[in-house]
Every structure is written in structure tokens, then in C-alpha cells.
Amino acid sequence: MSHKKKTPAKQEPAKDTSPYVDKKRTKSTIALTPRELPWTDKQKKFFEVALDKNTKVMIVKGVAGTAKTLLAVYCALKKIQEKKSAEIYYSRVPVESSIHGIGYIKGTTDEKMSPYIQPLVDKLHELLPEPQVRALMADQRIKGLPLGFLRGLNISNASFIMDEAQNCRIEDFLLVMSRMANFSNLFIIGDEQQSDIKQSGFNRVYNSFNTDIAKDNGIHTFEFTKEDIVRSEILSYIIETFENMRLRVVN
């Protein structure tokens, strides 16, 4: 008499009951509901890569109007919503994007940083209801940091958005990338056409990590072109016109 061997019942993964992402930072108890905007197929592909559990770093290149920062903020909010991250760090190099500077800014560090983190605040309001934005701020889940204050920090349990990275040098990228610890993920966002410094390291960093070995280590590159512009229809024409102007100058 033959006896069929019973297939062991599939065990469900244990429910996560820990109040911590790890021992250092409690998970947020704020019930976030990020808005689902009419994402394009290219943007959905970005989410697929960025929200993969093995992805640690996203280096994002793209022209103006391709929603690079918005997409990074959405991913960071999803991480908090799903209890995979505890907070969001945002940093930009305080380089003025014009030859007409505004000079010294008075006030505390937070007051000085306020103009530089405004893009993040705008994206939060675009993606979340007002009460949820206020709750995140009150619970200190949103932190703006000057790039020069990062040395010595250990950033874990967080999403870190390094915006306007075309204004960073090689040393800045090493500083930021070497701060990332357990349960953290990094978004490096830049537009090579809008660099305000002469020795930008953005393209070198992008190209150096645009490899299969980098992907195996959880570091991915992603590019948006003028075909991916969503801000306005006229912007695609404007970007193309300026690209042609640059080509004429080079030639």
C-alpha cells in the first residue's frame, strides 16, 4: 500500500509587531495616504526599481520637469507608510542658481535652510493631505540638513534625498553615500544641464555606478529625458531649444 508524502503547509511570515525599524528609531504611527497621481509608464518603472527591497541607492538623471524630486518623495513616503523607514532627510547644496545672489541669510540653521528645503515641502503638500504634512513635521519625521553638517552622522532607518546633485563635487557624493547605514535608502537627483558650479561630479558618479556590478550591490541609475517631461507641454520645446543653443556654442 503506497502512502503519499504530505506536502508541508506553507507557513505565513511572522507578523511584524516591533514598534521599531531597528533599535534606534520608532516607526511612525501616522496613517499616511500618499496620493496616486496619473503616473506614466516610465514613472511606474522607476517605482518598481526604487521600491524593490534590494535597492539601496537610486542615482537619477533628468531634465527639468520630469518629476524627479516628486517621485523620490513619493517613494520615501511609501517607505514610512509601510513601516520600512522612520523619517525623511533632505539636502541640497546652498548654491544660488543665478549670478544675482541674495547675500547672507539671517536666522537660525532651520531658518537659513528654509528656502533650500522648499521643494521638499511643496512635494509633501502635493502628495499628502495638509493634516498629514503637519503631523510629519510635528513628529520630526522630515529633516532638512545642510550638506556640510553631514560628516560624522550615521543615517539609518531613513530615506535620504540628495537634490540638485549637479551642484555637488565628487567629495560631496562620497560624504553622503558613506553616511548611509542599515534600513536606509538614498536618492541622488540631478540635472546635468543646470549645474551652477564648474567642477560638478554628478556625471562621473552617474557613469561610474551605471554598471551591472553596481546593480548587484543595490545601486541603480535611472534617466529621464525630455520625452518624459510632465510639467508642461511647452517645457519640452524650451529644453530642446536650449540644447540646440549649447550645441551651436560647442561647434
DSSP per-residue letters across 126-163? HHS-HHHHHHHHHTT-EEE--GGG-TT--B-SEEEEE-
CATH number of the domain at 69, please: 3.40.50.300
Tell me, yes or no, whether 98 lies in a domain: no
Give average pLDDT by consecutive 10-residue segment, the chain, 251 residues.
56 60 72 95 97 97 94 97 94 60 56 76 97 95 87 90 94 94 93 85 96 98 92 76 71 55
- Total domains, the chain: 1
Domain extent for 62: 41-93+108-250
Q: What is the pLDDT of residue 146?
A: 82
Tell me, yes or no, whether 160 lies in a domain: yes
Predicted TM-score (pTM) of the model is 0.82
Tell me, yes or no, whether 164 lies in a domain: yes
Question: Quick count: other Cβ atoms within 10 Å of Cβ 1?
Answer: 2
Alpha-carbon gap, residue 112 to 102, rounded angstroms? 12
Single out the residue of 163, 71, 187, 82 nearest to residue 126, CA to CA.
71
